[in-house]
Chain A
């Protein structure tokens, strides 16, 4: 029976479509969305791998349907005007990066390195956001939202035990990607034993 026995359509902690990632994101982007509505603003989402930079961009894209999301390392498009959401911005050198974003009225970039100086040189007012750090409530909320989104129908669905979350938090800190990866295996084990 597998995942169906758990009343799930898919493993909630696997990879999701871009829209689904935006839907289950547990991030507060209202202030960033408000900032992006002001032309000439660059929101810099800065943090290590797996901390939720792309998730922030997906949540912004969901709140701002007119914004254009681009994953530039996968051949995403250049900005042709309006609000531009540039993922993996440090994949390019400064010149190529400038070519991609020069037409943006305002933009959000996800990056590992600090680009605020570059963005100021391009004429933007920079809002720097350090992405990372996860509180237990946010983690619980993230798990619940993901499981709800994968629900197959009425009835009970699994819930992640507090003890497991505490253990994963102690082991992986704020690396959400690593926590999700461990929870993926937890769901697969549940499905195999059901």
Chain B
């Protein structure tokens, strides 16, 4: 079997600007003559870190097919267009990396390949749409998400109650009847346990249910809530956030806070091992509302311009890895209860 040595040489450096062309050549040396079905160069991104890996090939080009001569070093030029994202990113749980990979299809042998890491950075003044990755945008409205969260919390709580009640009715009845008929210490102990353990489940379920209903009830203290953020914000520019609501009920509003936050959300494992890890990358606070604006019963209306710094991370989303931005509004009532509203948005490179 022949040995194939590959190398990738780029005309420029390892930093590729979105929208530009990356050119170079693949050098191939073989120690024994062999046929090459095809020599292909791929440009691809992949994620690495705490989450399951995602990858995508964005461009490829076949640069050669034919006979490779023993001892010769053949050079095969290539050129590929660098897409407008996703962009290279290094974080705690998530990294988005790019590479150029060349592989030789050799008959009846393992296909040798070589990878060269590169960085993809935003270009300036590009008219191309930004690619944030295959799953960057969050689906569903804020109301739908809130309702979904409430329903899943209630269902979870009811599941605890159901399990508790089922065990109480089935096992509790048997053990208690047995203890009443024959009050031996072991029977009494069995009866106590068969009542006590399901009761714990019921209490936990009721606790969750109370918490979910309480949170939903607190949310109704704000009527006519309108919290608007742009769908896309640009690095280095200020984004406009508008909010308005009317407090309802006796408990007045004590404080209103507003901030932007960027999170890495990654999924690792699957099935019984599936785990979602979140890591706060950045929090950008905005000026809160003045106490004078928070009179009881009066409508609250405000708008803020929140600047996105030049080094803000650009949104990314794939099946198992997200780099997501959200605007967060937190309303604190005088009795200490809080309502939190979140609005996702995309961060795009500078215009």
Contacts and interface: CB of A to CB of B under 8 A. Distances in A.
A15 B271 contact: no
A77 interface: no
Contact of A15 (B92, B117, B268): B268
Given A3-B90, A9-B117, A49 B53 contact: no
Nearest to A18: B53
Nearest to A150: B48
Contacts of A74: 270-271
A112 B272 contact: yes
A164 B235 CA distance: 41
Interface residues on B, range: 10 to 19
Interface centre among A10, A16, A112 (most CB of B within 10 A): A10
Contacts of A10: 48-49, 95, 97
A114 interface: no
B90 A15 contact: no
7 shortest A-B CB distances, which residue pairs?
A73-B271, A10-B48, A88-B271, A14-B49, A15-B52, A15-B268, A2-B90
B273 A50 contact: yes
A28 interface: no
A188 interface: yes
Contacts of B269: 15, 177
Interface centre among A14, A73, A177, A184 (most CB of B within 10 A): A14
B317 interface: no
Given A9-B117, A10-B95, A73 B270 contact: yes
B342 interface: no
Given A3-B90, A10-B95, A11-B48, A17 B53 contact: yes
18 contacts: A2-B90, A11-B48, A11-B49, A11-B95, A15-B51, A15-B53, A16-B53, A49-B273, A50-B273, A54-B273, A71-B271, A73-B270, A73-B271, A74-B271, A91-B271, A177-B273, A181-B50, A188-B92
Contacts of A3: 90, 95
Interface string B164-179: 0000000000000000
A22 to B, nearest CB: 14
Contacts of A73: 270-271
Contacts of A9: 117
A63 to B, nearest CB: 16
Interface string B42-59: 000000111111000000
A181 B266 CA distance: 13
B interface secondary structure, majority: mixed
B48 A14 contact: yes
A188 B92 CA distance: 7
Nearest to B321: A15
Interface of B: 48-53, 90, 92, 95, 97, 117, 268-273
Interface in A1-29: 2-3, 9-11, 14-17
Given A2-B90, A15-B268, A184 B50 contact: yes
Given A10-B49, A10-B97, A11-B49, 8 more contacts: A2-B90, A15-B53, A17-B53, A49-B272, A71-B270, A71-B271, A88-B272, A177-B273
Nearest to B99: A9
Interface string A145-171: 000000000000000000000000000
A154 B53 CA distance: 25
A88 B270 contact: yes
A44 B270 CA distance: 20
Nearest to A181: B50
Contacts of B51: 14-15
B50 A14 contact: yes
Nearest to B49: A14
Nearest to B274: A73
Contacts of A50: 273
A130 B50 CA distance: 27
Interface centre among B50, B52, B269 (most CB of A within 10 A): B50
A9 B117 CA distance: 9
Nearest to B267: A15
Contacts of A49: 272-273
Contact of B50 (A15, A17, A54, A71): A15
Contacts of A91: 271-272
Nearest to A189: B92
B26 to A, nearest CB: 20
A149 to B, nearest CB: 12
Nearest to B92: A188
B268 to A, nearest CB: 5
Interface string A71-86: 1011000000000000
Contacts of A177: 269, 273
Nearest to B320: A15
A181 B117 CA distance: 26
Contacts of B53: 15-17
B111 to A, nearest CB: 14
Contacts of A14: 48-51
B51 to A, nearest CB: 6
